[in-house]
Amino acid sequence: MSGVIRIGVVGAGAVSSSVHLPILTRRSDLFKVTSLADFNIDATHSLADRFGIENRFSTPQEMYSSGKVDSVVILNSGSHCQVVVDALNANLDVFCEKPLAYSREEMTKIELAMKSSGKKLMIGYMKTFDQAVYEAAKNIKGRPRTVDVVVLHPSGESQLATTELHVKSFPASQELISKFVASDKAIREEALGEAAAKAFGAEYTDIIMGSIIHELSVLRSLDIHITEVDFVDRWPTNSKADSFIVNARTSDGVRVTIRWFYLDAYPMYQEEIRWVNEKEGHHIIFSSPYILRVPTKYIHTTRQGLDHKETIFESYQPNFEIELVAFHKLVKTGQQQTDPIKAGNEDLEISLKIAKKICEREGIPVGGNLKH
């Protein structure tokens, strides 16, 4: 599995600067970051200077055709579809942060590009690589009666301030902002239809597909595959909703509840997953994704005679690093933990079911992918 990969990074935002680039540059035994691309060229130059990256580009496509990279790590905000498709068609292996696609049309384009290019693709589900998740999956016996997920999500700025990480921001031009607003509007309407996109398009892309699908990926690692969504509530509904409750179930009747709350100035990101049945409990507690060495805690509860026993496991190795090492292994050997097309489709279909339940509850006409 040896051999250094020449990496190009797409996106010069907070996650790129605080997580991925520090790991990629530290793991010089596996990666050499040769290039950075972002539509905001000021951000590109600032971050490239900080990490000693030689080649800077204002578009991903310029970087793909430069001959300077073998693989790309895609971290840009908004839709990833065209960026991924262009990379695959440029004969590059791709690591793409979630979500892979916002609509069925986007998924089809990516699947076709992957098949025609023969290149490798991996989705960034870093929590599925967490050692605490591995430990839980190993210990689980039987099926749960219920799985409960709670996420307390501060703003990115609040998380960075709490962790004392300082990320420079560079305001984008009005022309660039207008371009991305128009692109996001078109993609949301393709997925949801015009009325639903207007009512909650931002929540669909930013919360459901931007954050809740992290929980879906962890649930899959614990063999919990949601097939039906029974109830969704969001509030407030007179502005961008920042609180969600989703009640769902698997094909064998396991009930899943996801409670997700955006709390702007809350002091720390918190996420907990509880898996229980009559004989055992599994409790995973994730910390802020911006702090690489704070442990994920896993508590395994079992009966011991008339009493109970709690076994506590803590994982300190950053799940982002384990994930990127797995990408290197994929490029070099073809071995992969998760089928990206299957996982991307599962994320998409559950997200569309959540969106459709919102429409039913609030009397919003369905369109786009929600019609089928």
CA distances from 189 to 35, 39, 138, 195, 367 (A): 34, 24, 41, 8, 8
pLDDT tens per residue, range 6-41: 999 999 998 899 999 999 999 999 999 999 999 999
| Predicted local distance difference test score (pLDDT) of residue 167 | 57
Pairing of strands 93-97, 5-10: unpaired
3-state secondary structure at position 72: strand
**Residue 161's pLDDT band (cuts 50, 70, 90):** low
Would you state the structure tokens that stand for residue 65, as one six-digit string?
């055709």
Give the up-direction half-sphere exposure of residue 113: CA atoms within 13 A in the CB hemisphere.
23
Q: What's the gap between Cα 142 and its chain centre?
A: 28
Enumerate the domain spans of the chain: 5-124, 127-371
Helix (H) or strand (E) holding 341: helix 340-362
Mean pLDDT estimate for the chain: 92
Contact 24, 50 (CB under 8 A): no
Q: How confident is the model over 114-136, as a mean pLDDT? A: 97
Contact 212, 99 (CB under 8 A): no
pLDDT tens per residue, range 347-365: 999 999 999 999 999 999 9
Roughly how many angstroms between the first and final C-alpha of the chain, as a whole number? 44
| CA-wise closest residue to 7 among 113, 89, 93 | 93
Q: How confident is the model over 104-123, as a mean pLDDT? A: 98
Q: Which CATH superfamily is domain 5-124 in?
A: NAD(P)-binding Rossmann-like Domain (3.40.50.720)
CATH top-level class of 127-371:
alpha beta
| Predicted local distance difference test score (pLDDT) of residue 164 | 44
Contact 351, 205 (CB under 8 A): no
